[in-house]
Every structure is written in structure tokens, then in C-alpha cells.
Chains A and B, each alone.
Chain A
Amino acid sequence: MKRSALLLIAGVLVFSVSSSGGLSRQVVAYDLKARLQTDTKTVEGQEVLTWLNESEDPVSELQFHLYMNAFKNNRTTFMKESGRTHRGFKADEENWGRIEVRKISIRDGDDLTGTMAFIRPDDQNPDDQTVMKVTLPLPVNPREKITLVIDFATKLPKVFARSGFVGDFFMVGQWFPKIGVLKDGVWNCHQYHAQSEFFADYGAFRVELTVPARYVVGATGKRISETQNADGSKTYVHVQEDVHDFAWTACPEFVEFREKFSLKNPPVETEMIFLIHRRHLGQKDRYVRALRQGLEFYSTSYGPYPYETITLVDPAPGAAAAGGMEYPTLFTADTTSFMPRGVRMPEMVTIHEFGHGYWYGIVGSNEFEEAWLDEGINSYSEAKAMDKYYGPDGSMIDFLGLRIGEIPFQRMSVIASGRFDPIDKFSWAYVSGGSYSLNVYQKASLMLLTLERLLGEDVMSRIMKTYYEEWKFRHPTTKDFIRVAEKVSGKDLAWFFDQVLYSPDRLDYGISDLASFEVLDPLGMFDGLPAKETPAVKGAKFPAAPKQFRSEVVAARFGEWIFPQEILVVFSDGSRVRETWDGRDRWKRFVYVKPVKAVSAEVDPDRKLVLDANITNNSRVIERARRPVLKYTLGFVGWFQALLSLVSL
């Protein structure tokens, strides 16, 4: 009783564990008020945060992400790691960003401002202020809640990495003090790194956004009110449960479109909200079609889209650095006014970022620590969706005769890569940004495509659906994914994941030799026959047999990963032999004595192993096909001739 009274005095509220929209366990509840100052590019905010201690231990320290401080100076961890460049966009040195926590206190209780301190759990960088801790006068006990009131101001940078402003376009993401995740009694609250994004607990958001009235606003969740204020501003209130973040955007040049999306099986009813910059209206139909495809593909492949809204934000011209980013129920796409239809970048980005609503939004893995769980699974999903809707041969580019599908595109970065990093690694621990992205995006996607071909599409589909169902609105790890894959497939997949997820090596099998030669009649000395007679008795002692050919095929392992192999050998009469090999040794020879020659041999003839770093060496033929060389050479020569004819003019 005494203890409860003390807790009440301290402003710590005790509740039983509750769930919000019924989908997730509500660990956090944010009530945010934000006012956008368009002249100073600042958001003045107040946050009322209720946090539930789900652990078994009392907690007397809270940790918060202050992401916007990554843009505070040129020595933050983000700036150092990124070289002040993100996806080709450079930081603007005249427009730094920052977040200032002016006051933090327990509601109706102690002021904690004096206990605020910046910590650097990942790299001890003294110039990084992206994580803050506060010390509580009294601990929050297990299954108890605490409510804090935080006054803050966020100065937005000129956008070069996801969040910020360009002209009168504002993309406001990672803008408020966001509490970390208490995992196994330890705070999981990483600094803002160049190659990592976000991890947070689920809960409910209610956000009041006040902006000048001429601005068109989009935000996470559903709009429940819209009020014109006396000072010429407007206040929009958005609410959303079962999400772990809240982002919003404002721009007077947005044109808003709303369309319903319905699906019967599984049942989905949602409202698509498109905020398209006036100058990109010509691209609207591409966005609408791609978002419909995304909704249909993810709902049917994994589970029905559970939210009432989905908002697509088209960044203003000049704000592409804000494009291609996911937030719960809202994402930024990317296009330009003159994007050719055959370059399917807007479609790909739309499907990908919408897809993060599943892999990041609903299935909340830790992107700091295991980015492949969202980027890799999402790239896999995106490739499948793009191939489904745009055809596998030209799903990525189908322009001026050049056709490239997503899978060859993903393969290209992997086969060109060094062997520095595995897929599963802390995202700031990769040798470079390139190594991070090729591993967590492309290699992880190819891993899942390979697994799908090995287990069969049906089994893989069940794995993905089960993983989604079991881990939606929770925080799975790689081990959880593997557990589901093994449970559903009924197979021990350690051999697969141990190699592909945790080793930087590569998969490469091929045919190293193929030869076929006639089996000669016996010549020389044989027991029981005088040597000198041998030539004479040729044909007499050994009755004439039909010609026989000895064909040898050597399958080889060029890479380090060990995968079981299938080998197809084709003979000159069209007959085929399929062999299997455990793939363990460096090579295996297959010998055939037949009346016909072997004409070709191929490992992985069904191209299941899309992870294979070299498909060209997978097969070998006795007689090389010369026509394709002629075809491409003549094509090249034609262009070279045209170039020469320009030189002479």
C-alpha cells in the first residue's frame, strides 16, 4: 500500500498489461502535439509517453532515441560513417538538424531534465547525441507503467537522408524522442548509424499536427479531426494503434487522392491516400497501380493488410533523398516528371516501401542488428511481386530494347562483390555501405529465392505465412525465422542457414570437365593371348561390338558453401541422365560407357540455386555454340562502325 502510494506520488501509473487495437501488446502510448514552423524549419513538440515495463526486473533508467541529432554536426556517428553522403545525396552544411529536449518530467511528478545524459552504447563517439538516458527517482516495476511529459523542438535538416525539408516540402520522420526497446532486461537503444534504421515497441499514437492552413498534410494512421485555427493554421489529429512509429509530411504542392482498396480473399478493406506533388501528377497512375499490386500481393502472400489506411507520399522534386522510405501506414515513393514507363523505379520503390509495412511495420524485427529480416525478406517479396506483375524478363527495366528482370539485377551486385561480410551482422559492422546493402538486400533475397526453389513454392509460401502469423506485432530474430522454416518444412535447415547467413563465402558449382571418346578395341598384350597375335586376332577373338563411347563429366565445387547438387547429362541421341551429388568434395567424376557420346552436362539444371555466383560455368557442351557470339559481336561491331563514321565527319 505504502509502495503504491509512493509510486503514485512519483507519477508512475500502474496498469495491467493491455493491448491496444487488439493486434499488438501495447508497450508504448504516445500523445504528441506538434507545430510546424515553416520559416525556421522547426517542429515544436510536446510528448506524453506512457511506457510499460514488460520485463521481470524493476527499471530505473530509460533510454531514448534522439535520431535528429545525427544531423547536428559533421562528427556524429551517422555523419562519420556515411561520409556525409546518403544514397548519393550530400549533407547541406548550412542546414543542420537537431532535436532539443527542453524538459522531461514524470507526469504530475519529478522533473527529470537534470538527469538527462547522452550515451553512446555502440561506439563511444563523444560527438554523437542520438541516444539519451534519464534516471528515475524510483524504478518502474514489472508490468507497471510510467507516463512522461517531454517538451522538445526539432530543427529539420535539409533532407539528404530520409527526413527534413526542401523548399516548402517537409518529410518529418524520426522527429520525436522515442523510447528504446527493453529486451531481456537490457535497453536496446542503438545510436543512429549510416546503415541502420529503426527498432521500437508497438503501441498507440495520437498526434495533433498544426501547420499553416495552405499545407496539405499526410501522416501515419487515420485522421479523426481537422480544425481551422484562428491564427491561420490548421490542426489535424491522427490516431493509430499497433504501430511502432509515427511520421508525417506537409507540402502545399501536394494533391491528395483517396481510393478504396478491397479484397475478398483474404478480406481487406483499406483506404489508399496518395499525396502527389503537383509536378508529378503525370506519374499518378503508376503509383496507384503499383500500390494496388503491393496490397494484393502482400495480403494474399502473407496476410491481410490490417490497417485502415495506407498513405503514399511523393517527395517534391529536389527531395528525392526523402524518397524510398518506410514508416508505419505511410511511406515515401520516388519518381521524376520524365521517368520513362519502361524504367520501373517508381513501381519497384512503391511495392518495396509498401512491403515494409509488413517486414518492419507489422513484423518488427531489429533493423539495427539484423537488417536482413526486413530488407532481405522485403527484397525477396518485392522481386516476386515485380516478376508477377511485370514479367520476370523485364520487371526492372524494359526500355529501348533493354530488358532486365529483378533477379538478374539482384544477382549482379552479389556476383561482383568481395567476400567480406555475411548477411547477418550488426548493420554498422560491415566493411562498407555497399557490403551492407548487397548482403542485407540482394544476397538475403537470393537466399530466400534459393530456399524457395529447394523446398518448393508451396512449402515456402507456408513458411512465410506462418512466420508472418506467428511474429506479427512482435520482435522476431533470425533464429525465430529459422525455427519457423524448419518447423513448416519439417527439415533441418541448419546446413543452409549456417552457411548463407553467417559466412561471407559464396556458392559456386560448375562443370569443370566434359569429355567423350570412343572406347577402342583392345590392342597390346592381354593375359592368355600372345602379344604378337593381338593385332591379327583383332575382331576374331574379340567379336565385333557396336561402337562404345566413354563419357566423363566432372562436376566441381568452386565456392566454399556446400550444397547438394543435381547434374544433368545429355547424350547425342537426346537421352538424359540425372545424377545427384552431395557437393562435399571439391569435385566428382561421373563416367558413362554408352553407344552414344555425352554432348552436354549441367549442374543445377533447373536453376534453383539463384545464389550461385556463376551460372555460366554451370554447364559445359562438347560443341560450343558459335552463333550467339557472332550475333552479339556483329551487333557490337555495328555500333562501333556507327561511332567510327561519326569520327570521320
Chain B
Amino acid sequence: MSILACYAKGIRTASARPKIILLLWAANVLFASIAYVLFASVFASALGPSGAAAGLMKKADMNVLLEAIVNSGRPMGVMQAALFAVILIYFLVSIFLQGGILRGLVESSPEARSGRVFFDGGARYYGRFFRLAFCSLLLWIAAAVVFIVLNIALRAVTKNSTNEQLTFTLSLFKIAFVLFLVFLIKMIMDYARIRMVTRDANKALPALLSSARYVFGHPGSTLVLYYLLGLTGLSILALWRLVISPIRMTTAAAVWAGFFLTQLFIASRGWLHLAYQAAQLVNFQSQKTLLLYNAVAPRSYDPHLRQGDSHV
């Protein structure tokens, strides 16, 4: 199946699953609500009963805002720590959500879209996805090593250089390279999860390694598909900024309108996430189908795998 077809299928599948999008959005909002409570209380107590607060609606009075930052060192520190914990817990929860999403995508029975299948998938794959996340440290360490080597090499080039353009370009290159590595690892993780679900594989490390092999074996299709979806995400981001930037947040109505638009954007992130999984699943299955004809079929515990393959 062509990359474009995988892409289109991913987009179609994601668009047909509003319930999952709603669930992802709700999970996001649930965790973000902790940030709401924390920030509101820190900010409100920084302002106190000050009359200066009222002016902030019309204009960002930097005298007052900078004071709020400078004078709220400790509560902000606490807030930061708490938000870090929130992110960590959200990460653990997102492992569950991954299982649910993938289970729903590979399941072809009429029940595929039911909550039961989703939650069953989340619970069923939680342990192995968690181990997978742990094993991915290997990839992160490898990426860090690559980056450090690159950095040393680049530093040798830019040391004592008076060519700011070169230094600047190399900094941009470094950022791009870091992003590339991050996306690469995320992509390998996606395929590893897909592999574990479609083959009901239990061992995280072998899944990770063979998915890395798979990605390096099919760099064209996997990367193009990933970046095509990434581009879609960037376009949505640009659209969101385009719509939200001109809104002057000086009235409560404008503030709520901005917040509502942000929620649409957050929901679109869930949609995109779903599209990534669906498109990559289709891509993986189409590539594997070709292989399956020539190789010994892997041991499978999942009765749906065959259906999935034939479906492709």
C-alpha cells in the first residue's frame, strides 16, 4: 500500500473515531485542570486584593506581572514540582491510552469501537508497553551519545569562529537533528507497540529492536509517512495560531473564545495521535504482509492478526 494511501487511511480512521478523540481530550483536560487550580491559586495569591489586578484585563502591566513572578518564587517552585509530577503521571496514563487505541484499531469485530475493547486493550498491554518505555532508555542513551559526538565535532568547527552565520546555521542544524532523533525514537516506539499488539508479542526489548530494524529497513516509507502526518500537525498548529492571534483578550468573552479554540486544537492533537497510530499500523501491516508470504509466520496469540492482514 502506498504511503499516501496509508496516510489517507490513517486520517480516515482517526476521523471515524470521535469517541477516542473525546477520551484523549478529556484525559488532557483532566490533568490540565490540576495546572488550572495550581496556577490560579498562585497567581491570585500573588495579586491578593490588589486593585492593580483589574488593569491586567486590558493591558499586561509588566510592573505587576514581573512582581508576581519575582515575589512568588516559593509557590512557583512548588507549582513546578507538582506540574512535573502531573506530567509524569499523565505519561503513565498515556501508556494505558496507547494500549486502548491500538487494541481498538486492530480489532475488527463489530465491538471494536466499544469502551470494553478500549479499556481491555489498555489494561492488557499496559505491562508490556511500560517495559517498552523502560527499554526505550537504550534508544535515548544511544541518541544522546550520537548527539554528544556531533556536538563535539561541531564545536571544533565553531571554536574561535567569528562567522556568526555559520554558528547560527549549525545551531539550527543541531536543533533539527535533536528533533529528528526524538521523532525517530518516537516512531520506533510506535512500531514496537504496533508489533506487540498485532503479534501479541510479550517481550519488550526484542519488539523494540526488531521495530528499530524494521524502521531502518524501511526508512523511506516510515519517515515519509511520519513527516507527512507531522506536517499535518504543523498546519493545524499554524491555523490555530492564525485564528487565535488576532483575538484581543481584553474581555471575558474573548478569553473564553480563545480557550474554546485552544480546546479544539488540543482535540486535534488527539485526532492526530490517532491518525499516527492508524496510518503506521496500516503501513506496518502492508509491509509485513509482503514479508509473510516469504517467511515463516511468527507465532501469534492474536486471532485478529490474520483478519487484520487479510483486511490489508
Residues of chain B within 8 A (CB-CB) of A601 are: 51
Residues of chain A within 8 A (CB-CB) of B97 are: 648
Contact of B57 among A319, A616, A624, A625 (CB under 8 A): A625
Residues of chain A within 8 A (CB-CB) of B29 are: 641
Q: Mark B146-172, 1 if CB is under 8 A from A, else 0.
A: 000000000000001111110110000
Q: Is the CB of B168 within 8 A of A637?
A: no
Residues of chain A within 8 A (CB-CB) of B53 are: 621, 624-625, 628-629
Docked Cα-Cα span, A551 to B165, in Å, equals 64
Q: Is the CB of B67 within 8 A of A627?
A: no
Docked Cα-Cα span, A625 to B32, in Å, equals 23
A638: shortest Cβ distance to chain B, in Å?
A: 4
Q: Is the CB of A411 within 8 A of B63?
A: yes
Residues 132-174 of A at the B interface (beta carbon under 8 Å): 166-167, 169
Docked Cα-Cα span, A637 to B252, in Å, equals 16
A545 within 8 A of B: no
Q: Is the CB of B259 within 8 A of A634?
A: yes
Residues of chain A within 8 A (CB-CB) of B59 are: 393
B73: shortest Cβ distance to chain A, in Å?
A: 9
Q: Given A338-B168, A408-B62, A633-B40, is A645 in contact with B50 using a C-beta cutoff of 8 Å?
A: no
Docked Cα-Cα span, A631 to B55, in Å, equals 12
Q: Given A317-B164, A415-B70, A638-B262, is A628 in contact with B48 using a C-beta cutoff of 8 Å?
A: no
A420 within 8 A of B: no
Q: Given A618-B50, A632-B43, A645-B269, is A638 in contact with B259 using a C-beta cutoff of 8 Å?
A: yes
Q: Is the CB of B62 within 8 A of A621?
A: no
Residues of chain A within 8 A (CB-CB) of B55 are: 628
Residue ID in chain A nearest B159 by CB atoms:
A318
Residues of chain B within 8 A (CB-CB) of A649 are: 186, 269, 273, 276
Residues of chain B within 8 A (CB-CB) of A405 are: 62
A337 within 8 A of B: yes
Q: Is the CB of B51 within 8 A of A620?
A: yes
B270 within 8 A of A: yes
**Interface centre among B66, B160, B162, B256, by most A CB within 10 Å?**
B162
B49 within 8 A of A: yes
How many of B's residues come within 8 Å of A, CB to CB? 63
Residues of chain B within 8 A (CB-CB) of A116 are: none
Docked Cα-Cα span, A33 to B288, in Å, equals 81
Docked Cα-Cα span, A648 to B31, in Å, equals 12
Q: Is the CB of A644 within 8 A of B162?
A: no
Residues 29-61 of B at the A interface (beta carbon under 8 Å): 29, 31-33, 35-36, 39-40, 43-44, 46-57, 59-60
Residues of chain A within 8 A (CB-CB) of B49 are: 514, 620-621, 624
Q: Is the CB of B56 within 8 A of A631?
A: yes
Residues of chain B within 8 A (CB-CB) of A640 are: 32, 35, 83
Residues of chain B within 8 A (CB-CB) of A337 are: 164-165, 168
DSSP majority for the B interface?
Answer: helix
**Interface centre among A169, A408, A634, by most B CB within 10 Å?**
A634
Residues of chain B within 8 A (CB-CB) of A316 are: 162
Q: Is the CB of A616 within 8 A of B43?
A: no
Docked Cα-Cα span, A114 to B38, in Å, equals 73
Residues of chain A within 8 A (CB-CB) of B214 are: none
Docked Cα-Cα span, A616 to B258, in Å, equals 27
Docked Cα-Cα span, A228 to B162, in Å, equals 29
A401: shortest Cβ distance to chain B, in Å?
A: 8
Residue ID in chain B nearest A404 by CB atoms:
B62
Residues of chain A within 8 A (CB-CB) of B57 are: 625, 627-628, 631
Residues of chain A within 8 A (CB-CB) of B119 are: none
Residue ID in chain B nearest A599 by CB atoms:
B51
Residue ID in chain B nearest A628 by CB atoms:
B56
How many of A's residues come within 8 Å of B, CB to CB? 59
Docked Cα-Cα span, A645 to B265, in Å, equals 10
A540 within 8 A of B: no
Docked Cα-Cα span, A632 to B265, in Å, equals 18
Q: Is the CB of A629 within 8 A of B60?
A: no
Q: Given A169-B162, A621-B54, A634-B255, is A615 in contact with B67 using a C-beta cutoff of 8 Å?
A: yes
Contact of B52 among A408, A412, A416, A616 (CB under 8 A): A616
Q: Is the CB of A633 within 8 A of B36?
A: yes
Residues of chain A within 8 A (CB-CB) of B256 are: 634
B28 within 8 A of A: yes
Docked Cα-Cα span, A253 to B66, in Å, equals 41
Residues of chain B within 8 A (CB-CB) of A253 are: 162
Docked Cα-Cα span, A411 to B70, in Å, equals 11
Q: Given A614-B67, A615-B67, is A167 in contact with B35 using a C-beta cutoff of 8 Å?
A: no
Docked Cα-Cα span, A411 to B65, in Å, equals 12
Residues of chain A within 8 A (CB-CB) of B83 are: 640
A245 within 8 A of B: no
B87 within 8 A of A: yes
B91 within 8 A of A: yes
Docked Cα-Cα span, A642 to B36, in Å, equals 14
Docked Cα-Cα span, A636 to B259, in Å, equals 10
Q: Mark A69-82, 1 if CB is under 8 A from B, else 0.
A: 00000000000000
**Interface centre among A166, A167, A403, A635, by most B CB within 10 Å?**
A635
Docked Cα-Cα span, A158 to B46, in Å, equals 46
Residues of chain A within 8 A (CB-CB) of B255 are: 627, 630-631, 634
Q: Is the CB of B35 within 8 A of A403?
A: no
Docked Cα-Cα span, A121 to B238, in Å, equals 63
Q: Is the CB of B35 within 8 A of A637?
A: yes
Binding site for B on A (CB under 8 A): 166-167, 169, 253, 279, 316-319, 336-338, 393, 403-405, 407-409, 411-412, 415-416, 514, 600-602, 614-621, 624-638, 640-645, 647-649
Give 12 CB contacts A-B under 8 Å: A167-B162, A318-B162, A407-B63, A409-B62, A621-B50, A625-B54, A628-B56, A632-B39, A634-B262, A641-B266, A645-B266, A648-B98
Besides the known contacts A600-B51, A634-B256, 12 further A-B residue pairs in the complex with CB atoms under 8 A apart: A279-B163, A318-B160, A411-B66, A615-B63, A616-B48, A616-B52, A633-B43, A634-B36, A635-B258, A643-B87, A647-B94, A649-B276
Top 4 A-B pairs, shortest CB-CB distance:
A619-B51, A628-B56, A645-B269, A648-B94
